[in-house]
Structure 1
Amino acid sequence: MRICWIQPTTKLADLAPIWATLEAEMPPLLAPGNSVEFRYTRQSTNFTRSSYAEHLNSVAMMDEAIGAARDGYDGVYFGCWNDPLWETREVLDIPVASVGEQAMLAALTMGQRFAVVTVAEKTAAAIERDIALYGLRERAIMRPARAIAPESDTSLLLGAVRDPWEAFIPRFEAAARACIADGADVILVGCAWYGPLLRRAGYTHVAGTGIPVVDSTTVALKYLEAMIEVAKVTSLVKSQGALFRTPPREKIAQARAAIGPMR
């Protein structure tokens, strides 16, 4: 099984420590014989805290996803909560997973009401939109996505690669405790990059509460493995009902060509 993990950014040199960490930490978590390759978009705004920038990034991420399907991958994984998940499912005939949707579905098996602690207010707003889109509003708390304060920046992220206990976990736990006070019994890490750092550091529960802190990144990747296995065993990947029905290939190619060359 070959999985293509697509990042929302180019391979920024400033973030080399997080890329190296993910590329070292994640492949060994897959079942024997399975592999994951990391792809970075060839073009990106390298900014996700904007609905407009998110739409621009989505085109580049979908280009990589279409290329991955053409290159023979068994599944596509979007390594960001800001993703073009449903649009990609429409055009591909292989399983497509995202950190957000798959982690939220996993949370339903762990507790009654989940919450997402994320990196910025703009990201929280986008996650709340997705929770409603996926029909999961009733299984989340009120104001289900909360941002840490102060918000994350490059310095905090790189510091967390070295030691998330120093600065990131105290901010994360303050937001998580507010969610728990409002009824959350599962906390999802609302960033694809921070989740594995917390798991690696052994931070899996909010201290003294028994409430799990879910490394959404790892859980969602393992769910994609299961999705691919289901597809192999049953031949079922997606519905060909109205929303996800695969459009004619020539029409997709024509539409994409209208905004410039593809990868």
Structure 2
Amino acid sequence: MKICWIHPTTRDDALEPLWSRLDETIRPILRKDTQLEQRFLARSGNFVRSLYAEHLNSVHLVDAALQAEKDGFDAVFIGCWNDPLMEAREVLAIPVGSVSEQTMLAAMAMGRRFAVVTVSEKTTVAIENDIHAYGFRDRAIVRPVRAIEPQSDGKLLLGAVDDPHREFIPRFEAVARDCIRDGADTILVGCGYYGPLLRAAGYTGIPGTGVPVVDATAVGLKYLEMMADLSLSMGLVKSSRLQFRAPPAEAIARARASLAGA
């Protein structure tokens, strides 16, 4: 089985310690026969804390997903909560998963009410939109997505590669405990990068509460393995009745041509 993990940005050499740590943390949880390749976008604004910026970046993400399918991958993983999941599923004929939908699906079996703790106030908007779009609103708490303060930046992220307990976890836990007081019994890490870093540091639950802290990247990839299994063994990928029915190739080609020179 070959899975392509697509990041939402170009590759930033300054974050090389992060890319290495993600690889070290994720590979051991996958099946021995699963081949995982991380890919970065050829072009990106490297900013998705905006609905419009996310909309623009989604074109690059779906292009990368289409290329992965052409390159023979069995499944594609979109490694960001800000994801064009439905758009990618429409045009691909292989399973497409993400940190968002797959982790929220898994949360249904972990508890009654979940919450997402994410990295910036603006990101809460996109994630809450996804909760509604994917049909999970009734299984989340009121104000289901909340952000750490101050918001995450490159310095905080690299610091978490070395020791998330020093700065990130205190910010994260303060928000998570507010969510628990409001009824959450499962906390999802609302970032594709911090989840593996917390799990690698042994931080998998809010102390003294019994509430798990869910590494959305790890859970999303494991869920996608199962989706790929169903595809390879039973031919089950998606419905082609309506929303995910692939549009005519010539229509997509015309739409793509309109981007030339943009």
Give secondary structure in 1 for the equivalent of 2:205: coil
| Match in the other structure for 2:257 | 257
- 1:100 correspondence with 2:100: yes
| Match in the other structure for 2:135 | 135
Q: Once structures 1 and 2 are overlaid, which stretch shifts more, 49-58 or 190-199?
A: 49-58
Residues 170-220 of structure 1: CA deviation (Å, up to 9, x unaligned):
000000000000000000000000000000000011010000000011000
- 1:181 correspondence with 2:181: yes
TM-score, normalised to structure 2, is 0.98
| Match in the other structure for 1:232 | 232
CA distance in 2, matches of 1:181, 1:143: 12
Deviation at 1:254, TM superposition (A): 2.2
- 1:197 correspondence with 2:191: no
Q: Number of residue pairs matched? A: 262
**Structure 2 unaligned spans of 5+:** none
Deviation at 1:25, TM superposition (A): 2.2
Q: What aligned pairs does 1:52-91 form with structure 2 within 5 A after superposition?
A: 52-91=52-91
Residues 131-185 of structure 1: CA deviation (Å, up to 9, x unaligned):
0001110000000000001111111100000000000000000000000000000
CA distance in 2, matches of 1:259, 1:224: 31
What RMSD, in angstroms, separates the aligned Cα atoms of the two structures? 1.2
Give secondary structure in 2 for the equivalent of 1:241: coil
| Match in the other structure for 2:38 | 38
CA distance in 1, matches of 2:241, 2:115: 31
Q: Once structures 1 and 2 are overlaid, which stretch shifts more, 241-250 or 182-191?
A: 241-250
| Match in the other structure for 2:3 | 3
CA distance in 2, matches of 1:38, 1:168: 25
**Structure 1 unaligned spans of 5+:** none
CA distance in 2, matches of 1:210, 1:25: 24
TM-score, normalised to structure 1, is 0.97
Give secondary structure in 2 for the equivalent of 1:212: strand
CA distance in 1, matches of 2:183, 2:71: 45
CA distance in 2, matches of 1:29, 1:59: 30
What letter matches 1:119 in structure 2?
V
- 1:121 correspondence with 2:115: no
What letter matches 2:28 in structure 1?
P
- The structure 1 segments of at least 4 consecutive aligned residues displaced by more than 4 Å after TM superposition are none
